[in-house]
Structure 1
Amino acid sequence: MIKRPLAMLTVALLSGCVMGPDYQAPELQLPEQYSASLQQDHKASDVKDWQAFYLNPQLQALIEHALSSNLSLATMQSRLRAAKANLTVTNADRWPELKAAFGAERTKDSGLTNSGDLYDSSRTLGVTASWEVDIWGAQRRADQSQWANTFSTAELLLAAKVSLISEVATAYYELADIEKRLQISQETAELRAKELEIARLRHQNGVISGLDVRQVQVEYQTAMVNLPQLKFERQQKRNQLRILLGEYSYDIEDVSRDANAQFPESLVAGIPSRLLAQRPDLRASEQQLIAATADVGIAEAAKLPSFTITAAYGRESDSLDDLLKARGMTWSLAGGLTAPIFNAGKLDAQLTIAQETQQQALLAYRSAVLNAYTEVKDGMNDYQRAQQVWIEQRRLLEASAAYLRLAQLRYKNGVATSLDLIDAQRNHFTAELALSEAQRDKQLAMITLYRALGGGVGKQTAIDLVQVDDNESNSSVASSSTAN
């Protein structure tokens, strides 16, 4: 009696199929290169790990601290742990569910219909099992969907690390620029204060007019007016860094005011198709498409009959003391087939929803790839612009310095007026501030390009984070994750 249902079950398992479409990577038709006018290597890209890209030791220490303490990153790590636990929940539905059951009952029959009141007691102890056979592959599709969602969560964690690293680096170099401009303003204000004192003495001696004194005072106040705003910006930027570091009062030392040679000499962009392998946000979007594709199979299987097997085995006795010794054995084995007949179009609508969700995931993936491609192109153009502006601004500073030296010499010899000297000082002060900002813009452009290329996490992959086992349920998803 037991062998026949088991044989039927074996046949059902062997003949089971998997409903729904299998995932196939979409044709994205990416261009072969970013732009003919942009310098790039058509073979591969050299997006390095962040330690090899951000060379400043102080910045490296800040990034290390942020990766270990950032609260948003800790939230993403918690989501990954929950997703990994949900794998067990989903996979458990593929297997029989066993439960232990104990029951006690005492009944009384009225004496009006019997020779007297009748009392009866019974105790039962047993095990029950139930199993919905995965004939149409709905559970296997659910397993695939959850694996894809887990990989997507892992990729989003990697993307969050890339974002965090670039945010820390951006805040660091913005703070470096503020420190540099603050230093320039303070030194200029001190120089203007000395010049103002000299101008007042010369005015008292009748050498210069009151107008000349006022002009020097205006230049002094112009330098001084920058100081409160720059000090506020410095504190604000330090607070921003502390948020990224996950600390209330992290001691941030004054950053280096000379940030030259803080990056590798070059960054090769490679070809557009490399983005699919380099950017974790694109890999996450593809995993979401894989999950949506598997969900279509689940919706299709819901329209078909389901086969459930239930079984129970135990002992029964009228006394609790001899329950385990009782000879009253009970068992049952049953199989049931249920099929949907009428549900007011609910299952058809659920299938339509799943199919449209898959289409939305496909469009989201295509959109993410398009945006990533555009970000790299914009990043390359922006870096070239920032590099050229920095070169021209440096030349402007050299010219203004030469102009200032000549104006000072002519003023000492009585050839030039104080207005000429003040104009030269003003131009040099403005050029110094502008060069610091140009240096910052060049650094931020390099950070943006590095981030757009997917740099920041090195060789760490989603598979490393999930620590998958080599089994059939996840191998297809894992191979899709690394195929590109």
Structure 2
Amino acid sequence: MMKNLKLVLVLLAIAVFPYSCMVGPKYSKPEQPKTDSFQFGNKTTDTTANVTTLKWSTIFNDDVLIGLIQKGIQNNYDLKIALARLEQAKANLGIAKADLYPSFQYSGQVNSAQTFLQQTSLTANMSWELDFWGKFRHQNKALQSELLATDEARKVVLSTIVSTIAVSYFELRDFDNQLEITQHTLETRQKAYDIINERFKSGYVAELDKVQIEQQVAIAEANIPLIKRQITALENSISVLIGQVPAPIERGKTNNDLLILSTFPTSVPSALLENRPDVKRTELLYRASNERIGVAQAMRYPSFNIAALAGFVSPTIGDLFTDASYLQNIGAGVSGPLFNFGKNKRRVEVNRQIAEENKLVFQKTYLIAISEVENALQNVAMYKEEWTARNRQIVAAQKNYDLSNARYYNGYVSYLEVLDAQRSLFEAQLSLSQLTQKQLSSMVLLYKALGGGWN
């Protein structure tokens, strides 16, 4: 008995010792380009601040839009898929953690015949592969990184859902506004047609004036079903995003009444690593692949195993639990590769190249993130300037139309001038409506590009 106890103590010492031995490279974060500020950012902005803690619900002032986004977060199938993948990653990590500990099994067998070949038995056994070279620890670290990367992927899906619903809603309200502008233009043109048609019948104007305004009425009429089709398509798209069957979407404020927080803290580009979930995800995948190099290297070395068995074995059931039937044993073993034509060495090289690929993906994602912020910052600034110019254009176009209309009815110009002025006003109104939508959308996309708080 004392001999067995000593053997157990020796084996336990061997089991504890290897946790200081781990083969494989240590992780180090890849270097990234350094810059103090964004090219199109506000140079006076506090660069220590970021938008991580700024919740998406605080940047909108439309309860209907906020409600749609909340429905999307609750019901969107892409987000549900991402959550299912997160739970799967948690389960895989739990499976891998179990490899660090011994496994226990039991077995029992009953036979009516008294034979030594098939004896009655009730035994329990233990087997344990010692993590001498860190194979299981590297695997666990890899899965932990992949679990965190899966959570970052969930955040990417979440940010995409929130921003897509918001942008789609702005586009929907833009089409509503375009429909209203077009219907008003059609009404104005129809009234002008009625007047000119009566004047044509009375012989005061030429037929050319009549057919010109008739053409413009038809153009406005043709635009209405086009806009209605676009509205239906957007409503169906938003319905899918919020996880419901296609149905009309509730409206809130118009784009002209909507306000979005227009100033976000634009931290230095390196802070994107702390904000952007897609950047964090690719870095975590690189970290995981780096750990798997250690797994592959550990497979090149011998593996050490401890096994133990205890139980009762007897030819007859009646003698099963007697002292003579009791059996116990404990032992250790070693096994390892001897010669496999370089397969294990190449496995290490394969994992090194996978890690290198993931590092390059991480670096590329980082640069894309900076580029997206630069584009978003420039879009926000330029859309503001363009909107101001378009608004001045509408004021001038409206005055031009009023003057041309008055000049026509006083007989100074042909109706062609009135039509040209009316067409310019119509196009300017549609352009301003689209720019209002783009302004709102650019704010959302800037918030997303900066890694806003989507949690």
Q: C-alpha displacement at 1:46, in angstroms?
A: 4.2
Specify whether residues 293 and 121 from structure 1 end up closer, same or farther in structure 2 by C-alpha distance, changes over 3 A only. closer
Which of residues 3, 10, 26 in structure 1 aligns to 2:5?
A: 3
Q: CA deviation at 1:319?
A: 3.3
- For normalisation by structure 2, the TM-score amounts to 0.93
Unaligned runs of 5+ in 1: 109-117, 461-484
Residues 423 and 120 (structure 1), Cα distance of their counterparts in 2 relative to 1, 3 Å cut = closer
Amino acid at match of 1:3: L
Match of 1:20 in 2: 24
Describe the SS at the equivalent of 2:375: helix
**Corresponding position of 1:86:** 92
Aligned residues: 449
Distance 1:60-1:133 versus aligned 2 partners, 3 A rule: same
- The one-character-per-residue Cα deviations of 1:30-70 (angstroms, maximum 9, x if unpaired) are 32212177656252344221001122211111100000000
Which amino acid in 2 is paired with 1:172? Y
Which residue type is aligned with residue 452 of structure 1? A
Change (3 A) 1:40 1:133: same
Matched, 1:293 2:295: no
Whole-Å separation in 1 of the counterparts to 2:415 and 2:398: 17
Q: Structure 2, unaligned stretches of length 5 or more?
A: none
Amino acid at match of 1:35: Q
The residue aligned with 1:144 is 141
d(CA) in 1 for partners of 2:146, 2:271: 23
* Aligned-residue offset at 1:411: 3.4
Q: How far apart are the structure 2 equivalents of 1:37 and 1:142?
A: 42
- Once residues 250 and 277 of structure 1 are traced to their aligned partners in structure 2, the CA distance between those partners, rounded to angstroms, is 39
AA matched with 1:58? V
Structure 1: distance between partners of 2:158 and 2:25: 33
Aligned to 1:132: 129
3-state DSSP class of the match of 1:24? coil
Counterpart-to-counterpart distance in 2, 1:327 and 1:55: 83
1:212–1:39 CA distance, 2 compared to 1 (3 A): farther
User: CA 1:412–1:45 in 2, change beyond 3 Å: closer, same or farther?
Assistant: farther
1:262 to 259, 263, 280: 259
Written as runs of structure 1 = structure 2, the 5 A alignment for 1:10-159 is 10-16=12-18, 17-35=21-39, 39=43, 41-47=45-51, 48-105=54-111, 122-159=119-156
| C-alpha contact (below 8 Å) 1:133/1:309 kept by paired residues | yes
TM-score (norm 1): 0.88
Match of residue 210 from structure 1: 207
What displacement does 1:105 show? Answer: 4.7
String of CA shifts for 1:137-175, please: whole Å, max 9, x gaps: 111111111111101001110111011111111111111
What do the CA deviations read for 1:72-113 (whole angstroms, capped 9, x no partner)? 1100000000111111100000000001111235668xxxxx
Aligned residue for 1:246? Answer: 243
1:426-441 paired onto structure 2 within 5 Å:
426-441=423-438
Distance 2:192 2:227 in 1: 23
Query: What is the aligned-residue identity percentage?
Result: 27
SS at match of 1:162: helix
Question: Offset at 1:265?
Answer: 3.2
Q: Indicate which of 270, 278, 282 corresponds to 1:281.
A: 278
Residues 14-43 of structure 1: per-residue CA shift (max 9 Å, x gap): 432111122122221332212177656252
Label 1:119 to 1:331 Cα distance change in 2 as closer, same or farther (>3 A): closer
Contact 2:262/2:443 (<8 A) preserved: no
Change (3 A) 1:230 1:103: same
Q: Which amino acid in structure 2 is aligned with residue 11 of structure 1? A: A
Partners of 2:193 and 2:226 lie apart in 1 by: 23
Structure 2: how far apart are the matches of 1:360 and 1:256? 47
For residues 166 and 40 of structure 1, do their structure 2 counterparts lie closer, same or farther at Cα, with a shift above 3 Å needed? farther
Q: Which amino acid is the alignment partner of residue 63 of structure 2?
A: P
Query: Contact 2:62 / 2:252 at 8 angstroms: preserved in 1?
Result: no
Contact kept? 2:73, 2:79, Cα under 8 Å: yes
- Does residue 398 of structure 2 align to residue 401 of structure 1? yes
Aligned partners of 2:189 and 2:216 also within 8 Å: yes
Counterparts of 2:260 and 2:361, CA distance in 1: 34
Match of 2:224 among 212, 223, 227: 227
User: C-alpha root-mean-square deviation of aligned residues, in Å?
Assistant: 2.0
SS of match in other structure, 2:280: helix
Contact 2:235 2:246 in 1 (8 A): no
| Separation (CA, whole Å) in 1 of partners of 2:230 and 2:321 | 78
| 2:110 aligned counterpart, secondary structure | strand
**Residue of structure 2 aligned with 1:309, choices 306, 309, 315:** 306
1 CA distance for matches of 2:192 and 2:30?
70
